[in-house]
Amino acid sequence: MRKIKLLWDFRGPDAKEMAVHHAKHLQEFATIENLPYHEVDHHELNPMLCSAFIVVDESHMKVFRDALKPQRGELAK
């Protein structure tokens, strides 16, 4: 089964704090909705650009995508 990484980007001086906070909400959503996931975290690309992400199985991707409206997605490694 392929894994999909859904991402939300945050820009500006408080990008890291926003990405960390958003990652917490992603994990809460998956827990409340009883949806399986592989990983939830954030990634700092540079001090002004950070991303929050969740990695899910391709079979569950549409549920997450439709409910949470990620900015982009990619195949997870």
pLDDT tens-place string over residues 10-61: 999 999 999 999 999 999 999 999 999 999 999 999 999 999 999 999 999 9
CB 40 within 8 Å of CB 76: no
Angstrom distances, CA of residue 47 to CA of 2, 13, 35, 70: 31, 7, 32, 21
- By CB atoms closer than 10 A (0-12, 13-18, 19+), residue 65 is middle
* pLDDT of 70 higher than 90: yes
- The CATH number of the domain holding residue 31 is 3.30.70
Give the domain extent around 41.
Answer: 3-75
Strand partners, 51: 9, 43
| Single pTM value for the model | 0.94
Contact present, 60 and 35 (Cβ < 8 Å): yes
Q: Is the pLDDT of residue 77 over 90?
A: no
Split into its structural domains, the chain has a count of 1
